[in-house]
Chains A and B, each alone.
Chain A
């Protein structure tokens, strides 16, 4: 491919397009969150004792600025998020952005840790499985993939706690006090991802290894290791990178909710659950906004990576 192909010239336009799409996604998600958080119930009611009077509720609604018309609240909300001002968490009485930024590193630690574990174990497993289908490595990868897909993470987390914390006493049962505290939640997050990555890369590699160009390369006398690691793996990497992106997004926007709750790990997922339980609209909006924002950035980066790996991908 020549360096002056369509993709090379169109890169800035491509990025601009993706950027505008991302903005639309963030706006859409935040609007949906605004509507949904108001559908799930009245936070004023949830914050007072069950037997509080109508007057108590009116007083609190005024104090929280939730007594105005809904469209006005929406306009204020849009104005505020445009400047990253989400207001104070109704439950914690401090800026929601501070809480989100505090918890963000916890979630990113788990996600990146789990992805690293999944790639470091999943890729070699997939290569070993693809080179000798039907052999032990292949069986392990199939077993791990199936367990990863079928075991609910909630259950897996509790089982790991039971084994490693209660029975063996090797690791802390929950919390984030020491580095050891991260091991069980990372394992719980990583196992299903590991299974899927191994499965996907394995079948992509088998396809590549059976393709014409690999056979040609081998026939030309290229060393088998180079064929597999450079040529076949590079081509098989495109769907795997897509899967990695998906895994990261799924962890960020879903799996960490369960894992952080089970392991009492202070991250965004746990914060989202608490915000829902306490009907803290402000905090929930901030959490969802940041997760949507991160996923848009992630997709943006993935688009660039695809183009580096496979320049045929057009605008």
Chain B
């Protein structure tokens, strides 16, 4: 099929569609009001929720840091201090993602800019995943273990900590998988396209 044939077929399709117009007012109305798939808004809300959770973590850890029970024990104090630092960095990171990328995606703007914003956001999520899996979770886990060791925790508490760590890791994995569902292949494909655009 050459280009001329393609054009003719396209026109034939147009003619067929003219005969087959389907949208009545009711269907359009239903589409407007039945729709719950506000993907971008939903994602922005998720990011805001993450920010609020982290903001709550800061005073909680600060209070635990100053709790009399941990007065002369180093490990828990370091754990809460590190948690505060992670939470502050996390809040900054979340705001950066929302303001710099998510709120910049505007469907009435041109396609190239939107593809770029989506791809940059997806790359950030990949980096965030890496930091969560290989820095945040291991560091907090090690500090937790150290704290329990210093506190001479009993077997039950050790089991509790192990379960909590496994749960936290699985929860993080599930959250990334389910919420962001970062499809590396699709990002790679889009990046290749963007590279092509830059080259030309």
A and B co-occur in one complex: no
